Each structure stands twice: as structure tokens, then as C-alpha cells.
A and B are shown apart, each in its own frame.
Chain A
Amino acid sequence: MTILKILFRNAFHNKLRSGLTILGIAVAILAFGLLRTVISSWYAGVEAASTSRLVTRNAISIIFTLPLSYNEKIRQHEGVKMVSYGNWFGGIYIDEKNFFPNFCVEPRTYLEIYPEFVLGPAEKKAFLADRKGFVAGRKLAAKYGWKIGDTVTLKGTIYPGNWDFVLRGIYKGRDDTTDETQFYFHWDYLNETIKKASAQRADQVGFYMIAVTRPDLAADVALAVDKTFKNSLAETLTETEKAFNQGFIAMSGAIVTAIQMVSFVVIIIIMAVVANTMAMTTRERIGDYAIMKTLGFGGRDITVLIFGESLVITLTGCFTGMILTFPAAAAFGQALATFFPVFIVSPETLYLDVLAALLIGCLAAVIPTRQAIRIGIADGLRRIG
């Protein structure tokens, strides 16, 4: 009991030093938490991807297309529940810095294959009825202040010209991890416009999305589809949506690795700072520990005192940092909503925070404890005065 009292009071005895150390830990934990959240948001698309959906694209590269005629052939495969298709549009809204994903899809099948995009029945009907209609995610519509019925113009990059669309629906994500920043419109609208300009470029599809009847059939279906188009003019590559999304992320893998490393460097730096604080503190208290040993307290009591003090300081800093992470992540997520459609502090990040703090607290206490225990009482007492 007294040992606990002493260690708690020791932890906050030198208010300036403890305060600064706690602040340092809090900031480090905050930085660590935000960096981890950036990484997990990066992978959010992969995590949210369904295992019962496949994506088929041109085997050579994502930038080459596939004929629309494949649609029927894919649909006839055993285990295929539904097929949809779309093209990456890559339009720019007013300015290039306003980035958000936009593409055209076959709307009826797309909405069924992607039940996580929740659209009201009236809005769904309106969207399907309007060839120039589009649907936007809740976050995207909120960011640009779009309301149902508004006309939005995108400047085409792959398909030149100014394209007008009318907002017919705003979807909500079914899960926390659902991307709410997408923009999709009718594939027919794009195709018919292209057809007028050049008939050869028409009836081309960027990717097919396949819903399978059972997730365990996904691998077989993928193989069968690719086999069908083997040795044809446009060979296909079919993979699970997860793998498909991962392929996108792999391009930025080096950046993710760098962020990951920085997040651990932050922890190592703060570990050194806390270790230094504890070494200083323990040196000052060598006399206190000597007197306690003189009175008959043992090495175990001294260990509890030093580890306890170190852990009280690091955990106080850690919890402060964790609490700060939530508003910081909210602000961060809002500012970068279109880059990180899902920016949520995950439970894993919080566990890692606590784990890091425990590690810091214990490691910082090891050497001071060893010194405090090893020093003879007589020598410890001579250090006083």
C-alpha cells in the first residue's frame, strides 16, 4: 500500500519533468496512432472487399479494355450469380486537386452486386430512369455541397470533353469500412457518346465484376473464365476483388512501408526520452532507495517502485495520447476524406498504443532498477548530502 503511495507520488513529484515527459509520450502516441490509421485506411478497401466477388480485366494491363460481348460468355459459367461491368472514367471536377474516384457502371447489376452501397428505393428508381443520372457517396456529396437534382460537370481526361451529370441518389455505407466517396453513372451514357464520335471505340469494357454463388467457388470460376478467353484477342485476368484492390495498393507499398517504419521510429525515440527521464529520476532517488533498504525493504519493493513509477508516467501519457487521437483522426479524416474514404482509429491501433506504452515503461525501468538494487546500502547512503 505504502509502496503504491510512494510510487504514485514519486511519479508526479517533479511536476515539470513528469509533465513534459507525459506530454512527449502523449504526442508520440498520437503520432503513432495517426500513422497506423493512415496505413489501415490505405488497406481499408482491401479489407472491405468481398471474397465472393471477382474482378475480370485485360490480362495485359488495366488500361486495356475488353469487348462487351464477354458479358454473356461470363454469365454462362457455372457458379456465376451475376455479372456487371464498368469503365474507369477519370474525370476532373473543376480542378485537379479535387480528386475522387469516378466511373461508369451497368447500374442495375452493379447495385445488386454491391449491397453495401445503400440507396433509398425512390432514389434508386430515379437513378435507373435517368440516363444522365449519377450517384454519389454521402461524404463526397457533403464535401461539395451537392443536392439531389444538381447538375455536376466533369472534365474528361480519358474521354475528352465536358460531361454533365444529374445527381439522382446519395448512397450511405452499410459498414464503417464502406467507401462513401464514390461517383458512378450509366455505362450506356458513356458508350453512346463514344459511339457517335468513333464506332470502333464503342462497346468496350474496362472491367467485369462477377458475383459468385458461393465464396468457395471463386477460385474455380476465376480459372474457368480466364480459360474461356485464352488465345483470344483480349485475354483476361480474373482475381478476387481483394486481390484486385491489393494490386492497386501494391504500387504504393513502398510509401506504406516508410510510414510503418516512421511510426516505430517515433516509439523508439520516445523510449529513449523516457529511459533518460527514469535514469535521472532514479539517480536522484538513490538515497531514498538506500534508506528504504536500510529499514529492511527488499529488492522487490525497489523494483515495484521504479517500474511502477515508469509505468504510471508512460500509461498516463499513453491514455492522454489515445484520447487525443480520436478528435485528431476525425479532423484528419475530414480534411483528406477523398484520399482516405475510411479513416477510423481501429481497435488494433489502440491495442498497439497500450502495448507500446507498456514496452516503453518497462524497458525504461530496467537499467535504473538494476542500478538501484545493485548499489550497496552504505554506498547509496554516501551519495546523500
Chain B
Amino acid sequence: MERGSKSPNDKQNIVEIRNLYKSYHRGSLVVPVLYDITFDIAAGEFLALMGPSGSGKTTLLNLLAGIDKADKGSIRVGDMDITTLSETELAHWRANHVGFIFQFYNLIPVLKAIENVELPLHLTSLSKRERREHSETALRMVGLEHRMDHYPKELSGGEQQRVAIARAIVTDPTILVADEPTGDLDRVSAEEILAMMERLNAEMGKTIIMVTHDPRAAQHAKILRHLEKGYLNDTLKGAHDDSQNPL
């Protein structure tokens, strides 16, 4: 967490997406998913990407987090155009710059909470002791230091998602991406997780990009973007502009 020096009111863009296209192939059929997406995310932003199911939110998030390849366009994160990177370079880049939070927590079932948090640090040059210290700090930040030696199946959904958040922040990444982080949680746990993400953004200046189709979850973000059938709509909260939709 030593590198967490980005201040929340730094207006510099941390993500710049230009003319991004993505389609999937189903057999001989080409299924277009994203058309000509262009937008920026400022450093220290907490952005919620909304839209109905199937609108391409996950696809867009995967592209800017470097786990999927675009057909066309550029994605700059920090000072790197990640569309130019090879598979191996991309893996290395992700390890250093992106923290991931998923709907189903995706913890490794055979690893204890602390070991799950420590996992990404094995790709760094940190010593065993440093890894341990960093992981403990991260778990303490999500309020789970007393659950350190528990396996995922011994934790509630909300607790598992907090472990996942600790794993996402332990490497002090440039951006945090979250795909429906509360989609599998009850209301109370969901609020806890969202509050925690708000705090990470406000107190530590983390740039967060969160995908959700739940308006209540989106309330916690500072900016809202809407994705409808592959097009990015207006930035106004809850705005709909179907005139851009050709389908």
C-alpha cells in the first residue's frame, strides 16, 4: 500500500478508451457486442457501469482489465496501451495494475483466507515475511483479521467477498474492477461491500470501475455510465437515449 499515493482529486485520466469494437464468433455467426466505445475515466474515480443483462458490460470491463482482446480500438491504462501487449506481457501487466472483484468471489477453495489474499503476491519479488505482512494488512482493512485461517467454505458470502477485496487491493493496483460485486449477496452484505468500496475510493484514492445492473448498488458510485446493446449512453444518472441505438 506504499504506492497508494494517487489523490482523489487528481483530474488526470487513468483510463482512455478510443473507438473500441468487440464481437464474438458463434460458429460462422459474428455477434457484435461493443460498437465504437470511446470514454475516459479520471484517476480516483468511482464509476458504475450500468445496463441491462447482455448489453456488454462484462465484455467492456474484461477488455479494459486486460483479460480479453478487442477487435479494434485502443485502451490506455496509466501510461500503457494494453491493446499492443502480448498474452504474457498482459498477464504481467494485470498482476501489477489491476485488482479484480467478481460476482462469485472466485476464491481458491483449498486456500485459507490469508493464503488467498497472498496468492497474487507470489508473482512479486516480495519476501515471505513482507507477503505475510501485506496480506494481514489487507485483511485487517476489510475487517477480517480474525478469519485469517478460515477456508472460503467456512465464510459467509459477504465475508468471502471481503476476502476477495483484500486480494484485489493487496498488490496496490492502478485500477480496481468489480463485476456485479453484490450480485450474489443479500441486501445487508451488499451494503457493507459497497460501503467498503466507497471507503477505498474516498480514503485511499483507489480508481474503481464497477459493473452492475442494480440501481441501488450504482447509487454508491460517483459517476454512472450506461451501456445499451453495445452503445455507451449519456453520463447522466439514469439517462436513456435510445436514438443512438440502431437495432
A interface residues with partner B (beta carbon < 8 Å): 1-2, 5-6, 9-10, 13, 287-288, 290-298, 376-378, 381-382, 384-385
Contact = CB atoms under 8 A, between A and B. Distances in A.
Contact of A298 (B68, B91, B100, B120): B91
A376 B109 contact: no
Contact of A378 (B67, B96, B108, B184): B67
B188 interface: no
B115 interface: yes
A1 B132 CA distance: 14
Given A2-B115, A381-B67, A291 B108 contact: yes
B68 A295 contact: no
10 contacts: A6-B108, A6-B110, A293-B67, A293-B91, A294-B100, A296-B96, A298-B88, A377-B62, A377-B67, A378-B67
A295 B120 contact: yes
Contacts of B140: none
B165 to A, nearest CB: 14
B20 interface: no
B229 to A, nearest CB: 19
Interface in B89-104: 91-92, 94-96, 100, 102-104
Contact of A2 (B96, B109, B119): B119
Interface in B42-100: 58-59, 62, 67-68, 88, 91-92, 94-96, 100
B198 to A, nearest CB: 24
- Interface SS, A side: helix
A2 B91 CA distance: 18
Given A9-B110, A291-B108, A381 B119 contact: no
Given A381-B102, A384-B106, A296 B62 contact: no
Given A2-B122, A378-B68, A295 B95 contact: yes
Contact of A296 (B95, B103, B110, B111): B95
A277 to B, nearest CB: 17
A381 B88 contact: no
A384 B95 contact: no
A23 B115 CA distance: 31
Contacts of B94: 294-296
B195 interface: no
A314 B58 CA distance: 40
Contacts of A294: 67, 94, 100
Q: Which residue of B103, B109, B110, B111 has the most chain A CB atoms within 10 A of its CB atom?
A: B110
Contacts of B120: 295-296
Complex A-B, nearest 10 residue pairs according to Cβ-Cβ distance, in ascending order: A296-B95, A9-B110, A377-B67, A378-B68, A291-B106, A385-B104, A295-B120, A296-B91, A378-B62, A296-B123
A21 B95 CA distance: 36
Contacts of B62: 377-378, 381
A381 B110 contact: no
Most chain B CB within 10 A, of A1, A287, A378, A384, is at A378
B104 A384 contact: yes
B159 interface: no
Contacts of B111: 2, 5-6, 9
A41 to B, nearest CB: 45
